[in-house]
Amino acid sequence: MERERVIIVRYCEIHLKGKNRGYFEKVFMNNLEKALTGIRHEMKKPSGRYIVEKFDEARTDEIIDRLRKVFGTHSLSAGYQVDAEMGAIYDTVRMVAPESGSFKVQANRGDKTFPLNSMQINAEIGGRLLKDKPGLCVDVHSPQSVICVDIRENGKALVFSEFVKGAGGMPVGTSGKGMLLLSGGIDSPVAGYMIAKRGMKLDAIHFHSYPYTNMQAREKVEDLARKLSVYTGGLILHVASVTHIQEAIHKNCPDEMMITLLRRFMMRIAERVSERVGAQCIVTGESLGQVASQTVEGMTSSNAVVRLLPVLRPLVGFDKTEIIERARMIGTYETSVLPYEDCCTVFLPKHPLIRPDLKKVVQAERKLDVEGLIAESLEGIEEVRI
């Protein structure tokens, strides 16, 4: 009897998409394939799920770990594929079934020519299991284990009993493209994660102010981008210097406006880069009231310089503790808390403006060669493919 290890991937929400469903499924499958780069396998798509076959069994856990992080994945099961024949099916069920506790068998008959219907399969397999494993009892309402038997249309059957929760959400690439402002902090990678979860493809932009910030800080941001890229299916990191911008603000504008003005420059640069790479929105990790610059007035001041694109702030209503919890879950927290200086703490005023008045901000900015400074920053921008 041939028994092959397989992984079943189920998706969420795609079924809601009506006529676009084919497109969503295609993007999802591409993302799954991309996640398995470097691992030999084959992927099939019978109706309503994907099946990964012909891989090295020793890599089962690794494959599950990679696939569960692909947005759009609802759940996964590692199981076996056997010939759709009751003897082979039962032998496999007996192998995966526990020795004791409550269970139920849940059959699903895709192939309607199979001689037994679902209820008959449940009864037949359940009965034999009770005989062979006296420690087991049936509980159809809340069993400790569910053993699934799936009779496929290709003469094969799937047997599995474990369920691993997937990342959920929508396949990345089905909701346009955004430009994430990636600092070295805790919030921005989480913002990227949240927005990618809704299917958005991301590029990221990082601002540094070397020599005021160091190479370790830059490396840290690349690490964060790498961790985030597991969920976003790779990303391009744009690295721009704001050193001369900060120096110009420091020299010409009131100290307390440093962050307000700097953020306006960041937004302008992010929008220009977005236009260049076809990103349709700017994504930031701001959370209302978290720090002095993240007030509604602060956001108004930075929004005012973005000409066309929407600015998405997926964390706007989150508490810091909620953000930290998510950062830990996606694995970016440990990197985010490494204590390197980032550009926002250089020239940091003792008392930053909490409620900047847009008119005064605009007035202060008149002392700067805004276009010249932006052009200089754009010219020196580096692209890192993560």
Closest CB to another protein among 215 and 277? 215
Closest CB to another protein among 124 and 247? 247
Q: Tell me 198's DSSP state.
A: B
Are the C-beta atoms of residues 285 and 326 closer than 8 Å to each other?
no
Strand order in the sheet with 382-385: 311-312, 281-283, 177-181, 201-208, 236-241, 382-385
Closest CB to another protein among 92 and 246? 246
Closest CB to another protein among 208 and 313? 208
Report the C-alpha gap between 270 and 180 in whole angstroms.
8
Separation in Å, CA 114 to CA 77, 80, 84, 105, 127: 23, 19, 8, 17, 19
What is the phi/psi pair of residue 87, to 5°? -60, -50
**3 state SS of 317:** coil
Find the shortest distance in angstroms from Cβ 218 to another protein.
11
Are the C-beta atoms of residues 253 and 261 closer than 8 Å to each other?
yes
Find the shortest distance in angstroms from Cβ 213 to another protein.
8
Point out which residues bind another protein (CB under 8 A): 210-212, 214, 216, 247, 250, 339-341, 345
Find the shortest distance in angstroms from Cβ 216 to another protein.
8
Find the shortest distance in angstroms from Cβ 334 to another protein.
15
Closest CB to another protein among 20 and 214? 214
Cis upstream peptide for 211 (omega within 30°): yes
Find the shortest distance in angstroms from Cβ 150 to another protein.
54
Length of the chain: 386
Closest CB to another protein among 100 and 216? 216
Find the shortest distance in angstroms from Cβ 214 to another protein.
6
Q: Which phi-psi region, left, alpha or beta, contains residue 54 (left: φ > 0; alpha: ψ -120 to 50)?
A: left
